[in-house]
Each structure stands twice: as C-alpha cells, then as structure tokens.
Structure 1
Amino acid sequence: MFTDTYKSVGVPKIGTVIATERSTDPGQTIGVAFEAKNEGIRMNSIGVSTFADRTELSGIANADDKVLMVNTYQDLADAVGNVVTMVCPAQNLTTWIPPTTTTSTTTTQAPEITTPSRTKRSPISGPCEHCELRNGVGYNPHPEDCDKFIQCYFGENNEIVGAYRQCPWGQYWDQEVLTCRPAENVVCHKEKCRLPGLLSYPYGNIKNNRAYWKCNLGKSVSLCCPEGYLYRPYQGCVEFNGKTETCPPIVYHEGACDMRPVFGNATYYERIVHGNWIRMPCAPGTHYDPTECACSLFYPTYISNECKPELFISFDGTEIKDDSGKNNYIENHNVSIRKINGSSYGYFDGNSKIVIPRFANFESKDFVIKMNYSHTPNDRLESLISNGDDCCDNVPSMALVKSKRNVHYMIKTVDDKTREDSVATFHLPSIADPHNNWNEVYYIHDSLRLEGRSNGIRQEDFAVGKIKKTKAGLQIELEDLFQNFTGLIDYVAVYLCRPSHL
C-alpha cells in the first residue's frame, strides 16, 4: 500500500500490475487490489502472454478499460502509447506531440518509429553552437572533457538551454553517433593522453578520490586505485589512511536525458517515447530542471545566450557572407566554396583572402575568434587571421599564424593608463584529427590576458589593455608579414564578448 511518508499532495495514486500468468490465488490477489482501490489508488492491470487470466486482471483493475492484454514484452513496448493513455488519461495530463507535424490532435496509438533526422542548426553562441539535432534536441561534445557532452533545448521564441551531461564510467561521448561509447572505441579531439609525458589524470569533476584515467598508447583507460589508496595528480595511487569512496563511482543521470523542458511553463516537461514527445506534469510545488533531468523543488534559472557572434562566416550556401545576422560587409578576393561529402568549406588557394572592414580601428574589452581549418603540415609560416594588411603598411596588432607543427598567437595591446604598448606571443601544438586534418582554435583576449586553445590544449599570457588599433579590417588568410594560407576553412566566428562556455 501507499504510505503518507513521501506522498505528494494532489498527485493521483496509481498502481499497475503486470502479470505473465494466472496467480496462485486469484481471489486473494483481487482482494488485495480491492483494498488498494478503497484507499483511492487507481489500479491498472496488464497481461503479457496468452497465459495471463483476463478475468483476474479485470478484478484487479478499476474498470475494463484499465486492462491491457499483449502477447510479448516487445508488444508492450510498442503499445507504450496505449499504456500511458490508460494509466494517465489524456484529457488530464498527457499530450502526444509528433515531431514532424503542427497538429494538436491527441493521439492514443504509438506512431511508427522512423530514423531520427540529424540537422546542423543555424549558428548561435554558447555551448549549443553548431549542435547536431535529433528529435528536436541538440547534442554537442563538451569543450574540454571527452567523457562529457551537452544537450541543448530550443524554444519557439529563440530560448536556448544547454545542460552538461556525464557519460557512464569509462565511456566517451561520440558525436558521430550521438551516444556514449567505451573510451577505447571513440576518437576524441580533446584526448588528454595525446599530451607528451602524461601518464594519468583525475577522472573529470566527479568527486571520487580513487577514480582516474590512465594513459595507454595515447588512449585513456578508466581505473580505480586499490582500497586504502587514493589518486593524486602527477603521483598516481598513494596510500591513504582516511576514508576512500566506492569505485567505480556512482553517477546519477548518466548519459543522455530523455526529457526536455516546456518553455514558458516549467511545471510541465516532455518525455520522448518511440520518437514522439509526451507532455507530463511535475508534482505540485516542483518545476522541471533540465540540468537535473528531473522535477525539482527549486525553480530552474535559464541562462540566456546573450553573447552572440559579431561575425560568422559558415561558407554554407552559394556565396560567402556574414551569417551572424549583423550583415557585416565582406570583401571576397578569390575565395571559393567547395563541397566535400555534402559539407561546404571555404577554399583558399594561396592568393585569396577575405577582408571585413567592420573591424578597422575597433576597440572592445573582449575579443574572441573561433575557427576551424584544415591543417596541412609544411615548412611555411602561413597567416590564418590578423588585423594587418598586404597593401598599406598596417602592421598587425593581433594575429593567428600556423606553422608545420604549431599555431602561433600574437597580440599588441595598449595600457589605458600609461598608453604604453606591450606584446605577448606563444604557440600551441597542432593536434589535428589524423583522419581529416582539421584544427579547431580559439583566440581569446579579455583586456587582461591572451588565451589560446588548440583542440583542447590551452595556454595564456598577460596582455593588459585593449588591442592596439590598426586601419586594416580583419584579414582572413592574407597578410604581408607571413606567407599565404592554402587550404580549407570550415567556419570563422568573431565575438566582441565572451561566450558563457569559454
């Protein structure tokens, strides 16, 4: 029977019996069900197999329409729509929302399951940028950790919510198939064990003092220190007299969440069932929290993605233009669009460039560039992007340059107080995917530091002040001090603010 200890006020009490055959004492079984119904519990019954007794199941349920008969558990899975409608009547709390239609007609049959479509969404800022869509939910790899990923939810009025998820023990997120898989079977661009000399590292942000990743031939393997030992970075497993946690660690809400928020009404959520979304209510006094994948006593606070790109060149379509919505004027000098395996890229032949005059003499507290380019090792120093030019003696004050094995960062800033110039430079290794040679890089300046990221490897240096002005706009791939870039670019994004995920 139900107890009052954990009950929620105003929430119906529901009981469901699933039977594969007749019980040993049908009279006693029906009697117990009768007691439950006297306590206000709504009883349902499901018979699975031809050996289930319809008469007994009718005695258990509140009414004949609360009885469902199927032959196998697979039939039960296929009839989940009927089960939901039977247990939770549609007029009270359930609405079926087909993913490919706008009709509001309530459906009581589970629709035919189709292969989920994957779509590249329009560019946005934040962790949901360029996410892959499946059944209306976006997925992105975590920007730093291979064993985490991001689920993204989109409202009709451009609301965006991103929730960080943890893969199960020993698994990495695989963006190709949009699921977590054993780490040894996933090629992750952020693989930390590629770093020379790294033998092991802590197991993410899971609070477990025995869990760690061990590097084996450039791949991460999840391990636990023995009982009585804990893991310490750079030391490995060391003896410990205090309390150690259970390992492998217990992680709640592992993997993807099969629910999504209802924007504008947090007292409801939607759950995916056989490719269709079912709307359900949270218990009174609770609200659905997408970060917890559950209804919570705390009202969820959605962080808006207010930092939007000032410039976004995706090279999609038939012309090279700004896709950020800011309609920046772009000068295209012989850059062409190439289609490869259904995707579009900008092709630079060594004598081509893109100029964005909007960024001539610009000033900003924050300045962020994100770009993805094909890395072809050679002995040349090739300019990727800068604010210098090849015609008018405008020496760049910021530049990204590639060499055979590295990406080089340069900045010249002006101190607001002393008006003195200072220069910061450093380089990061290019660890491109061996299968396609793509390199994703970030150039981040916040008036205090210059930060660089190259495929998950990060470095920073002091760079106090704003970037020194030049009369040249941003130049992509052609600059007088370095050789001209030859290759492909997937996209270029420029922000005058710092996205929340960086």
Structure 2
Amino acid sequence: MRNGIGYNPHEECDKFIQCEFKNNQRLLRYHVKQCSFGTFWDQDKLTCNYAGKVACANDRCKKSGVKSYKTTGNCAQYYECVNGVSHVKRCPTGSSYSSHNNCVIDATCVSSGTGGITEHVCNYKARVNDPCHYDWVDGQRVHIMPCPPGTAYNPGLCRCDTASRTSCSVPATCKPIVDIDFNSAEPGEYDNYGAIIKNGHAYFDGHSNIKILRLANVDFRSKLTIKVSYKPKFPEDVSVTEAVVTNGDCGQDAPIVIANKGHETQFSLENQAKTFSKMSRESVSSWRDVVYQFNHGAFNGIVGTNKVSSAVHGQIMRSQCAFQLGHGTGFSDFRGWIDYITVSMC
C-alpha cells in the first residue's frame, strides 16, 4: 500500500482488487479491476503480467476436464490448457471461439492485428535522470515508486531489473525498516494477538503472537539483518522448538527462522532454489541478544559474542506470509519475553 492505495489478488486470475484507504488506514472503498487479455494479476510486481509468467493458484486449467476457456479479449482470443497452465491462443481468421467446439467458422469475427493477443499497456513510466524510481500511473494519480536495492527501472521490461546495469544502492545511513522496542507507542508497526506489553517487554504465553504485516511479500534479495533480544521462560526445556521470529504464518514453511530449543538458538534460511541452510548456537544467558545476518551469500548467526556461519547460494526466498514474533508454521509457540526487534536490509 502506498499513498492510500493498496492491491490484493482476486479469486479469478485475470482480475485484481484495488483498495482505497483513509488517512487512518481504514478501508474507504474497493474496486474489482480487469487485466487485459493474455495477462494475469501479479501480486509480486503489483501489475498485470503475461499469464505464462504468473503462478496463479486459481488458474482454471488446474480444474479437471477443462481444456480451454474464454474470459476477455476479442471474438477469436481464448486460453488453452497445457499441463494445467493457461496459454494464450487465437482462432484462425474468419472464425471465433466457442466454449463447446473451440474455434468455429464465423465471418462476423474480424479481430484487429495479426499478433494474436492484445499488447499489455505498461502503467509504469520512467523518470528523467532518475533510474532508481519510476512513476506508477493509476488513473489520474501518479505515485513515485522506488526500485529495490540492486535494481533500476527498465522501461523495456516495465519493471525494476537487475540486468539494467544501473544499480540503486541503499543510502549511506541505513535505517531499519522495522524498529520495535515495546517502550513507546508504535501505532501501525505491528498487530498484537494476545501478547502482554509491559515494562518495555512483550510477554508470550505459548498461545499468543505478534504479526508485522508490512514485512509480508518483501523481497530481501541479498542483504538482511535481524536483531532481536529474547528470554525463554523455560530455558531447560529441550522437548520443544519454539518460534521466536519467522515469516511463515500462512501455512507454509518459513524461509527466515529464529527459534529456541533449551539453551540453543536456531537459525534457518531458505534460498530461491528452495534449499534450507540451518545452524545453531548455545547460550546460557537468561537474555539472548541475537543477530540474524545474510550478506551476499554469507549467512551468519550471532548469539551474544558467539558466531556461527554458513555459505548460501543465491538469494533469500520471498514469502507472502507476514513476519511473526512467537509463532511459525512447524514450530511450537514461544513462551517468554522479547525486548526489541529491528529489521534492516543492510
């Protein structure tokens, strides 16, 4: 969400939902929007992208018995199912698509052009002498959007791209994108589900958690640093592994994990090849000051002054799940206290 406008996927692959919010982030209204023919909504890039480049869970071709179908487009355009995936097709000249017989003779069907699909109009525009930002044209509104670190806007691809040679770097003063200390009022920083905030700490009873929704679906790429200080209530209990920080709240394994088992702090990272790297470090201190760090292939876990390292190929797997404190898929809920957490991309 930026400047009061946010986007969600629709149950139909070629549609999306545009939300408008008030200043207090309460929903004002929403609109169902239609992507042009041949494109599906891409929640990662927040734009309609070519259907073959979008993994849509509700693709009609995943349904048993569906061989072809039509949603939008001209009279000759339709989708054909190949191995459960929608592919753009076009009937020959002088014929139109029929849901029962695929293409049938139809002299009234005259489609413009010979390319087969309607060209997708790019709603992102390059900015003069500023490759690190682009203009997002949304009707009558224009939003200035930043490219992620290590990329620059490529108008030919209608997106930020690592191959465009110009690299937008992180500012010299690297500020955390999340900084929660549980001391001051932090409206909008997190959503609390049962944790008790008292004396500058958050207490988790094994049935509570805190969600940091703004970190859902963030592409951390090659640099990430998480700093957290926590104290387990039962440091001698080695029967369970409890989630301290994860980004796996939506039923899938978390690519990023800080967990606790007895005196042991465990670290886990999943790369884009879906390979997990795991390591751990012990500490007998009551409070564990932990650093989870990934920097261009070097994966470090630090507990106090003790450090453990591992090499990781590629980049961190992106997760559409929110960051969570005290909970994560595949782990027991945390019992204990958290003093602070900061997250930065440097």
Measured against the shorter chain, the TM-score band is 0.3 to 0.5
The TM-score, its normalising length taken from structure 1, stands at 0.33
Bigger radius of gyration: 1
Bigger share in helix: 1
The TM-score, its normalising length taken from structure 2, stands at 0.47
Bigger share in strand: 2
